[in-house]
Structure 1
Amino acid sequence: MTEDGPVLGLTRRALVLIALVVIALATLVPTLNSYVSQRQQLAEARAEVARSQAAVDDMRAQVDRWEDPAYVAAQARERLLFAMPGETRYRLTDTSGRDVPMTSEQRVEAAASQGDWYDRLWTSVEGSSRLTPSDIPDPASPTEEPTP
């Protein structure tokens, strides 16, 4: 072969072209990798924003429900067994005089509300140490002098 002829079937132009392609790939691959990584992070951030927005919407709906007096009354009747004036609440018992067995949902709620005796005791102690608005005397009303 001659010195100016093809070396192993490749010309100088082909070698230069291959070198340029390798340099271009070496330059573009990290850039494309960071682009794809940033797109994934952006998609995750958008999904997190959507989840947070859904949670905020749920909380606003719950606040709106609690602002409705009918909902508050229904919750008081259900959770605290309150009755409206003139109504009579009945408690169902079986023939032996025991309460009717609770549903599985009611059993779960009862178990969650029971807790350990020391937790209930501490909650009671904490609750008794708090002032309520009725405990604070009204400065506008005349104070009564204690009788000796």
Structure 2
Amino acid sequence: MAGKDRDRFSTATRLRLLGEQTAARVYRSQTRRQARRSRLTGRAAFLALVVCSLVVALAYPMRQYVSQRGAISDQRDRMAEAEQHVERLRDEKARLQDEMYIRRLAREHLHYVLPGETGYTMIDPEVAEKRRTDEGSADRPWYSNVWEGVDNADRD
């Protein structure tokens, strides 16, 4: 029986030693994983810090860039409008060099007539009726109507 106890003891001892070795290996691997995790976490934190720093550093210049591009676009639009306006003025200037165009403008806007022609002015019947019913304002001189208009505006 002594041989059996010795074999059992040695097997138990062997199993205990084997269990301790396995536990030590597991503990070492967990420690290594934790060390790797902590290194990756530190690296990730540093990378996040670098990315945040770049975002903060580039935010203001990018905003300025975008706003300046918008201002440039607005100025280009204004320049195109100004060029069109200049072109219209050049066309008008060229037309004003034509004597027939000047005569037509004088006839339309200033009611000019050429010698030997008879000029007529058409009065709108509704406007003429309003003038007659407007407290006899057609019978008075024009400056009286102006002063009356000033007095009416002052009363309101």
| TM-score bracket relative to the smaller structure | 0.5 to 0.7
Q: CA deviation at 1:72?
A: 0.5
Structure 2 residue identity aligned to 1:40: G
Instruction: Report whether the alignment pairs 1:85 with 2:115.
Output: yes
Question: Identity over aligned residues, as a percent?
Answer: 30
Instruction: Report whether the alignment pairs 1:71 with 2:131.
Output: no
Which residue number in structure 1 is paired with residue 13 of structure 2? none
Match of 2:82 among 32, 41, 52: 52
Structure 2 CA distance for partners of 1:102 and 1:43, relative to 1, 3 Å = farther
Show the 5 A alignment for 1:1-148: 2=31, 4-7=35-38, 11-92=41-122, 99-101=123-125
Q: CA deviation at 1:87?
A: 2.5
- Structure 2: gaps of 5 or more residues: 1-29, 128-141, 148-156
Compute the TM-score of the two structures, normalised by the length of structure 1: 0.54
Structure 2 CA distance for partners of 1:100 and 1:25, relative to 1, 3 Å = closer
Instruction: Provide the rounded CA distance (Å) in 1 between the counterparts of 2:106 and 2:41.
Output: 90
- Structure 1: gaps of 5 or more residues: 93-98, 104-113, 119-148
Instruction: Provide the rounded CA distance (Å) in 2 between the counterparts of 1:28 and 1:58.
Output: 45
Instruction: Provide the rounded CA distance (Å) in 2 between the counterparts of 1:86 and 1:101.
Output: 28
Partner of 1:4, secondary structure, is helix
CA deviations 1:70-116 (Å, max 9, x no partner) are 11011111222222233332344xxxxxx44488xxxxxxxxxx999
- Which protein is richer in helix relative to its size? 2
Instruction: Provide the rounded CA distance (Å) in 2 between the counterparts of 1:17 and 1:48.
Output: 46
Between Structure 1 and Structure 2, whose CA radius of gyration is higher? 2
- Please give the root-mean-square deviation of Cα atoms over the aligned residues, in Å: 3.2
Partner of 1:6, secondary structure, is helix
